[in-house]
Amino acid sequence: MKNIRHLFQYLAPLKKNVVWVFIFFSISTLFSAVSISLIIPFLKILFSGGDLIPQNQVVTSSFTGRFNGWINDWINQVGKESALFWFCGLLVIFIFLKSIFRYLGNMKMAEIRTRLVLNLREKAYHRWLNAPLSYFRGEQKGDLLSRMTADVFQVEFSMLGVLEMIFRDPFQILIYLGTMFFVSWQLTLLIFLVAPIGGLLIGRIGKFLKNASHQSQEEQGKLLSWMEETLSGMRIIQGFYVKQKAAEKFNDQNQRLRQKMKIVYSREYLASPLSEWIISMILVAIMGYGGWMIIHQISALNGEFFIYYLLTFSQIIAPAKAITESYFRMKKGMASLDRIEEIFNTPEHVGMNSVQPFQKTVELVEFKNISFRYQEDWVLKNVSFSIAKGETVALVGASGSGKSTLADLLLRFMDTQEGKILINGEDLKSFQLEHWRSKLSVVTQAPILFNDSIRQNVTLWNQGFSNSEIESALQKANALEFSLQTSIGLETVIGENGGNLSGGQKQRLTIARALINNPEILILDEATSALDSESESLVQEAIKKALEGRTALVIAHRLSTIQNADKIIVLDKGAIVEMGTHQSLLASKGAYARMVELQTLGDS
């Protein structure tokens, strides 16, 4: 029951549809039960000799006896031939009505299924968008995609089973059991004594199925992750000719998934034969006990009503099997739901609860005694510096010295553990992310583009920019010429991650994207590193003009690109070791001067 309650919290927004499912399936079941009851007059018409005993001559006071007398009275009154036609006509009408209401119930089920999948995927995707970047560093992309696809499908499949198990199948069983109780309470009591044994067996197997299903979904996520890495690294795999090694790793992961799925299917497929065996044992008990009662005339049960009883019991077989199979599906679905809820339970982005608006001009950015670590080791140690309005501050240092971390802290991808970032003297943590991010633009070292048009990649789906504004940004980034070279111009689709463009063209598009918002602060992570010599000189000039009167934080790898920076900060193992202008740092003959000398020798 706990699992069912847990699943139902996701059906709460769809409660109106759930109620209609219950109503339609209930009406369908009632028509089905009435249709089956018509077997009694049919059997009497076929197998009785002369007139039937009328109701007022029936000696028994049981429900079966009174109902038997009423049917006899009706057949004597209308005649056997007319009764047969009435029987056939009513059967057609009842079966038609049963089918109509069953169809309406299934249509509501379809609405629930599609809406459930929509809601789960929307919630998971929105959680992705609001999760801190640190969350994605620890997760495999393929596994996350598996949770959004295979796991969501499994939850949908299990939800359908739960609805059937609760609103259709049990009600059918109750209607039929109620009818069977009135026909023969002794036989029905026998069912209640035998059935719980099967329920215990089913519950035990279902517990094992959930655990196996959870493990199989994890293996599927690992397989998808390796497939995604293979597609992303195909140039390396083929370039180093390690196709066989990649195939071996894939085959090994695929084999592990096969073994897990084999366990899942072996337990899931046990549901049908197990339920059939349990029902068969009950049926044999009913036939033996019922036949014994008729032979010894212990109850009012006669041949027609016993056949009707057995036929009614046969109608329980399908919903009983469905309940068993739905129970197993629910166990699989719960395993998948646990994996999806791991996404739902990720912490929100660090700035989601900040409420203070920020609509002022950024006059001063101050890093005050900043220390930060991702896990145990400190990436930044007591870093302090400031960036005044209009200044260009460059960060240099070896890989892992903390340059990108400082930029991420300014963007509020995460917050500091020690120290503060002050904007015009106020703590950055207090400002609304939307307001703060509107003040910045960033160009990453590796260009990130989407499988969409040039227009949408530059504007990031913001419809508020005119063609002239877009073309102006492209012109500043020296990207206008190639952007308009096709017949559809800005509507040209560039392929996945800009696959239809050269490396230089891709980077120039990301620069145009950064400039179109006219940001107050520009963060450049060696924005020209992917450009050829001709493009680099043109874009450097464009960036120089764009930086006039604008605050900039530049992460530099090529030291020749930051000679005109107002302030150069040299980082080593997370600490500032030098700070000054290009000329003053060269004159001090410290770490920066040695870096310039080494890079000059390397370029020569």
Crossing angle of helices 15-37 and 169-183, in 10° steps, is: 30
- Report how far Cα 237 is from the mean position of its chain's Cα atoms: 30
Q: Judge whether residue 2 has pLDDT over 60.
A: no
Question: Please, what's the b/e burial string for 381-399 (b: 16 or more CB within 10 A of its CB; e: otherwise)?
Answer: bebebebeeebbbbbbbee
Of the pLDDT bands very low, low, confident and very high (cuts 50, 70, 90), residue 55 is: very low
Q: Judge whether residue 59 has pLDDT over 70.
A: no
Question: Which DSSP letter does residue 56 get?
Answer: G
Least confident of 24-28, 201-205, 536-540, 580-584: 201-205
Are 2-344 and 353-437+562-604 equal in CATH topology? Answer: no
Percent above pLDDT 70 for the chain:
74
Which of the pair, 202 or 572, is modelled with greater confidence? 572
Of the pLDDT bands very low, low, confident and very high (cuts 50, 70, 90), residue 580 is: very high
DSSP of 471-495, one letter per residue? HHHHHHTT-HHHHTSSTTGGG-B--
pTM, two decimals, is 0.68
Q: What value, to the nearest 5°, has the Cα angle with vertex 100 and ends 94 and 102?
A: 100
- Residue whose entry in the numeric block shows the structure tokens 């009497």: 44
Which of the pair, 204 or 407, is modelled with greater confidence? 407
DSSP of 170-201, one letter per residue? HHHHHHHHHHHHHH-HHHHHHHHHHHHHHHHH
Distance CA 344, CA 128 (A): 9
Distance CA 325, CA 162 (A): 10
Q: Judge whether residue 583 has pLDDT over 90.
A: yes
Q: Which residues does 428 contact at the CB level (< 8 Å), separation at least 6?
A: 410, 412, 420, 421, 422, 436
Of the pLDDT bands very low, low, confident and very high (cuts 50, 70, 90), residue 491 is: very high
Q: Judge whether residue 450 has pLDDT over 70.
A: yes
User: From 3.40.50.300, 3.40.630.10, 1.10.150.530, 3.40.50.2000, which CATH number describes the 353-437+562-604 domain?
Assistant: 3.40.50.300
8 Å CB contact between 488 and 454: no
- Report how far Cα 498 is from the mean position of its chain's Cα atoms: 27
Tokens of 492: 């040209």
Nearest to 161 by CA among 98, 208, 206: 206
CATH of domain 2-344: 1.20.1560.10
Predicted pLDDT of residue 61: 46
Helices and strands (H and E) in the chain: how many: 23, 10
Q: Judge whether residue 308 has pLDDT over 50.
A: yes
Distance CA 562, CA 18 (A): 64
Q: Judge whether residue 204 has pLDDT over 70.
A: no
Q: What is the pLDDT of residues 311-358, one digit of tens each?
A: 777 777 777 766 766 666 776 677 777 777 777 777 766 555 566 777
Q: What value, to the nearest 5°, has the Cα angle with vertex 129 and ends 126 and 130?
A: 90
Contacts of 15-20 spanning 24+ positions with Cβ under 8 A: 17/108, 17/111, 17/112, 17/115, 18/112, 18/163, 18/167, 20/104, 20/105, 20/108
8 Å CB contact between 507 and 531: yes
Predicted pLDDT of residue 363: 92
Distance CA 348, CA 342 (A): 13
Q: What value, to the nearest 5°, has the Cα angle with vertex 324 and ends 320 and 325?
A: 115
When the pLDDT of each residue in the chain is averaged and rounded to a whole number, the result is 78
Strand partners, 158: none
Distance CA 436, CA 360 (A): 10
Tokens of 127: 């959680």
Residue ranges of domains in the chain? 2-344, 353-437+562-604
Strand partners, 423: 365, 426
What number of CA atoms fall less than 13 Å from residue 205's CA on the CB side? 24
